Copies of this chain bind each other. A is one copy, B any other.
């Protein structure tokens, strides 16, 4: 992980557009430019469950998986953070130890803001605080959604929901109803996210193919054949 000064104005724009819609760019920019941006590669770990939070990580580029692990060593991916996003704020803000581990999934640039700076420059800014509550409330909603989903849906339905989420996140060409998407994760990672096993992911993918909702291509590419029925399956 090398050190540079890369997290500049255009990064601030990205954050204010998605993460903190109500914030003005300059608020964030003024703060960001004084802080350290590190580059991490796949497999690196930002923090481990059980550790003390030292500050907040702003993800300027790349992807971070946040997972918890139970006694049996099975991991469960609680959240996938993609730039621009914050990482490590939950434990920090609640004053607890990290309950999860944050692992870099693709080469990432991360702007670390230490405790003192975050308190002084972020938490003292009422506009930021207000945005933060809204952000936390959204996250809480997502977590509760997933809780219900995990409790009440079959693996196939959870997978369908995941696919729909991917579709909606991707910039879709509106020209045709047939869409091709690329799975951004291995079977095993998917299993960790859906709280199941690689084998079951495989079988469910096949089941969806059998029902003619999707078609599997090489290279982890998937053609959405019947997005409508996929969506129907997704919210059951």
Task: Known contacts A133-B129, A141-B96, A143-B144; decide if A151 and B78 are in contact (CB<8 Å).
Answer: no
Q: Are A236 and B152 in contact (CB under 8 A)?
A: no
Q: Are B146 and A94 in contact (CB under 8 A)?
A: no
Task: Name which residue of chain B comes closest to A89, CB basis.
Answer: B137
The number of residues on chain A lying at the interface, defined by a beta carbon within 8 Å of a beta carbon of chain B, is: 43
Question: How far is B143's CA from A68's CA once the two chains are assembled, in angstroms?
Answer: 13
Is A172 engaged at the interface, CB distance under 8 Å to the other chain? no
Q: Which of chain A's residues 117-173 have a Cβ closer than 8 Å to chain B?
A: 123-124, 126, 129-130, 132-134, 136-141, 143-148, 150-152
Task: Name which residue of chain B comes closest to A143, CB basis.
Answer: B143
Q: Are B141 and A90 in contact (CB under 8 A)?
A: yes
Task: Name which residue of chain B comes closest to A152, CB basis.
Answer: B70
Q: Are A99 and B144 in contact (CB under 8 A)?
A: yes
Is A186 engaged at the interface, CB distance under 8 Å to the other chain? no
Is A95 engaged at the interface, CB distance under 8 Å to the other chain? yes
New A-B contacts (17) at CB < 8 Å, excluding given A99-B145, A126-B126, A150-B151? A70-B152, A76-B151, A78-B147, A89-B137, A91-B141, A94-B134, A94-B137, A94-B140, A94-B141, A95-B134, A96-B141, A99-B141, A132-B133, A136-B140, A146-B147, A147-B147, A151-B151
8 smallest beta-carbon distances between A and B, as pairs: A151-B195, A94-B137, A93-B137, A143-B143, A136-B136, A150-B151, A147-B147, A129-B129
Q: Can you list 8 A-B contacts (CB < 8 A)?
A: A90-B144, A93-B134, A96-B141, A99-B145, A100-B144, A126-B129, A136-B136, A136-B137
